[in-house]
Structure 1
Amino acid sequence: MEEKKTIIKAKVLYDGKTKHEDVYVIVQGNTILNISKQKMQADYEGYVTPAFIDAHSHIGMDREGEPSQESETNDVLDQFNPTNNPINSIYFDDRAFKDAVDFGVLYSCVVPGSGNLIGGRAKVIRNFAKNRNEAELKDYGFKMALGFNPRSTTEWKGKRPNTRMGIYALLEKKLDDVILKRDKQKVAKQKKLNSLEKKLKDKKINKTEYKEEKELIEREYDYQFDSDEKALLEILSGEKVVKVHVHKEDDVHYLIYLVKKYNLNVTADHTGDVWNKKIFDQLAENNIPIVYGPLGSVGYKVELKHAYYQNAKLLMESKAFYGLMTDHPVIHTIALRDSLKFFLIQGMKPEEAISLITYKNAHILGLQEPLGSIEAGKVASLVVWNQDPLNLGAFPVLVMAEGEVLRS
């Protein structure tokens, strides 16, 4: 039996890339079946966008209505906590999740805080999940922090330098030590494999014995590394993306140095105090996307003294590929859409603005195939608004997540 189709008439469709008028979005099951100009009886009508994606958040870790001592964004145990999983510190009864869904922000990339050099893993979650078992969409990568924050936590446990030269030396030593250990173990493994090859060639062992011994050598190599070291090797291999907290221009230069030295795969998260277009261009030239923001927050530290809202224009004029964040609770998840005004007042087209929190954020998070745009074959996560979503009073009349109507 064919699944029922849901027909949505879009007065205006912001599809995540461009803008269309008077089209119909046809959904079947959890998939967008087609976009059509042909008139048909609609189940819903309004202004349509893809579901919004928050590319950097602490939602569920810093929770509504709880005192600050209940926060679980940072662990004080050590400067290096690469195996920490932020989902283990989320309570999904945080009312911020319901608010996020009400305003169409259906996905967040959650990360630990920036009090440690490496705070833990980065996970993309469903904000509409009932609990942790339903939440994880993608194991995205890791969280790293540069600048003031990791040098400000001198009262926490572990080695805690109070200067950037100190924390950066500590970071490089950690990475260099893991590289040295890996290289030594590779040499030892290769020697054993060479000896094994010789045994086979000299017919001292048969092919079955060769295969068994080779498997043991590989396992023995793997056993040399603990879970933290394996996580750091993931970072060094470029397999996973490292979301790097960075604000000031000199720390951006240091990030570019790290990328070149260790061949890291990173995004530059925040860049709030970058006030020269050339810096944004240099990030682009080094293939480093930017997760920009949060916009509209208080510049509560010296590190943000140049965090002007006008910097959005410099970013727009640069070569950088960028999306937006809320850094919830720095600004609330529901303020993600509000952040677009800083680009609109600088002349950005509405469809380009919507793209920042849909397609571009999806692309940065490696989710551009299933999410981020309204196209045939994509996952049916979308929002129907009562008026243009860039109007102050716009509110969803339908929120659909992976084909399920969450509210209407």
Structure 2
Amino acid sequence: MFSIKGTLIYTGNEVIQNAYVNVKEKIITGVSTAPLGDVKGEYAVITPAFIDPHCHIGMYRAGEPEYEGEANDQMDSILPLADALDSVQMDDTAFQEAVEAGILYSCVVPGSGNILGGRSAVIRNYAKTSTDALVTRAGIKAAMGYNPMSTREWKGKRPYTRMGAVALLREKLYAVKAKLEKQEKEEKKDTVFSREEEIFLDILYGKEVLRVHVHKIDDIETILRLVDEVNALRPEFKMTMTIEHAGDVHDGYIFHKLKDRGIPVIYGPVDSHPYKVELKHESWRHIKHLITSGVEYGLMTDHPVILQRMLLTQLRWFLRSGLSKQEAIQVLTRNNAKILRIDHLLGTLEQEKWASFSCWNGDPFDLGCYPVAVYGEGEVLYALQEEK
């Protein structure tokens, strides 16, 4: 067992002064005012590991041309069997830079060119291989709005409009429903569903969360209507989703609606250029709508749109919008972990959680401060003194 002292510790729930994070093997045994093991170091600030809940790190790789990027496969618009993990390459140098910035975990998702892009993967940024990196799954990537209708030149059946994209997704959902009802009507217990159809059944039953790329208010309303329409078909249908991006939301009404429905928002990225019409209302000032609505939310980089190492710097807009430093740190730790359903493992410095945290030489919100030691599951991943 060992202990790390922090003059200031952000636990993800509260701020504690002059205390110790105690670690046994890979697990935190608690935070205490006295050490429970050998003291390995003393630092100005300790924070839980940061988590990026939506990115394409390892898929779009540093130093490689854009056409070699693998976030979107162009063979068809609906690809439930695609798996983001299969395109992750752990030798992407962005991983090490993220670790040095205290970002130890990523939810890697397929891109938004396809209506249904495939399965997501929550990974360790510090693993040697993609197999070792996998922590868990966090749903199926979907996309509404401009992006899927902009891929008309790609292969397969492609939408030209927003209504066309929704129609293609609706067609798949209704086809699986029809096959299910035919099986029940004819009492054919040996009916075989393809693996693709099984995934759609999991979506219909709420076993797989739809991670919906969407920016505009009316596009959010569209996916809400579709979910309501499908869920009304059978009592056991319980489609669930997260709203990802919401960059063009400039009226807080929709966030209040999502709060009432228990639908989380993975917001951002905040510091990217609004390069398309559906982002014409984008502004950091709209963060106030997110905060005041009370909706459950986290914050992404969408790497490489914002480099993952810059995840923390986006929080300056949340501080300016009224959050305390503790509340801001919580967005990248507890909030992101909860939305990804890994809060039993990560997100706070509490007993039985993974011993993954960063030790800083000062206030993380000071531009002159940075992590000088980073721990992942009890192991030292980075220590500044090694840079010689």
TM norm structure 1: 0.90
- State which of 134, 147, 150 in structure 1 corresponds to 2:148: 150
1:188-207 alignment, distance < 5 Å: 188-189=186-187
- When Rg is computed on C-alpha atoms for both structures, the one with the higher figure is 1
- State which of 237, 249, 258 in structure 1 corresponds to 2:205: 237
CA deviation profile, 1:103-147 (whole Å, cap 9, x unmatched): 111110001000000000011011111111201100221000000
- Give the match for residue 42 of structure 1: 39
- Give the match for residue 227 of structure 2: 259
What fraction of aligned residue pairs are identical, expressed as a percent? 46
- Is 2:38 the partner of 1:13? no
SS of the aligned residue for 2:138 comes to strand
- Is 2:15 the partner of 1:23? no
- Structure 2 CA distance for aligned equivalents of residues 366 and 270 of structure 1: 19
**Deviates most, 258-267 or 283-292:** 258-267
- Give the match for residue 177 of structure 1: 175
SS of the aligned residue for 1:371 comes to coil
- Is 2:378 the partner of 1:403? yes
- Is 2:216 the partner of 1:248? yes
- Structure 2 CA distance for aligned equivalents of residues 268 and 301 of structure 1: 19
Q: Is this contact kept in 2: 1:60–1:94, CA < 8 A? A: yes
- Is 2:286 the partner of 1:324? no
1:7-406 alignment, distance < 5 Å: 7-38=3-34, 42-46=39-43, 47-189=45-187, 217=189, 220-221=190-191, 224-262=192-230, 263-406=238-381
- Structure 2 CA distance for aligned equivalents of residues 319 and 25 of structure 1: 31
- Structure 2 CA distance for aligned equivalents of residues 34 and 137 of structure 1: 23
Q: Is this contact kept in 1: 2:116–2:140, CA < 8 A? A: yes
Q: Is this contact kept in 1: 2:116–2:141, CA < 8 A? A: yes
* Alignment RMSD: 1.2
Q: Is this contact kept in 1: 2:30–2:349, CA < 8 A? A: no
SS of the aligned residue for 1:137 comes to strand
Structure 1 residue identity aligned to 2:24: Q
Unpaired segments ≥5 residues, structure 1: 193-216
Shift of 1:344: 0.3
Q: Is this contact kept in 1: 2:3–2:35, CA < 8 A? A: no
Shift of 1:237: 1.1
Q: Is this contact kept in 2: 1:256–1:286, CA < 8 A? A: no
SS of the aligned residue for 2:120 comes to strand
SS of the aligned residue for 1:21 comes to strand
Structure 2 residue identity aligned to 1:182: L
SS of the aligned residue for 2:86 comes to helix
- Structure 1 CA distance for aligned equivalents of residues 184 and 335 of structure 2: 39
CA deviation profile, 1:143-186 (whole Å, cap 9, x unmatched): 00000000000001111121111111121111111111112113
SS of the aligned residue for 1:310 comes to helix
Shift of 1:384: 0.7
- Structure 2 CA distance for aligned equivalents of residues 147 and 90 of structure 1: 26
TM norm structure 2: 0.94
Q: Is this contact kept in 2: 1:256–1:283, CA < 8 A? A: no
Q: Is this contact kept in 2: 1:14–1:49, CA < 8 A? A: yes
Q: Is this contact kept in 1: 2:49–2:357, CA < 8 A? A: yes
Shift of 1:39: 6.2
Q: Is this contact kept in 1: 2:51–2:337, CA < 8 A? A: yes
SS of the aligned residue for 2:89 comes to coil
- Structure 1 CA distance for aligned equivalents of residues 185 and 300 of structure 2: 43
- Structure 1 CA distance for aligned equivalents of residues 186 and 347 of structure 2: 46
- Structure 1 CA distance for aligned equivalents of residues 92 and 33 of structure 2: 41
**Deviates most, 242-251 or 259-268:** 259-268
Q: Is this contact kept in 2: 1:280–1:318, CA < 8 A? A: yes
The count of corresponding residues between Structure 1 and Structure 2 is 374
SS of the aligned residue for 1:92 comes to coil
CA deviation profile, 1:228-248 (whole Å, cap 9, x unmatched): 111111111101211100000
Shift of 1:404: 1.0
SS of the aligned residue for 1:329 comes to coil
CA deviation profile, 1:170-221 (whole Å, cap 9, x unmatched): 21111111111112113323xx5xxxxxxxxxxxxxxxxxxxxxxxx4xx23
- Structure 1 CA distance for aligned equivalents of residues 155 and 246 of structure 2: 28
Structure 1 residue identity aligned to 2:341: G
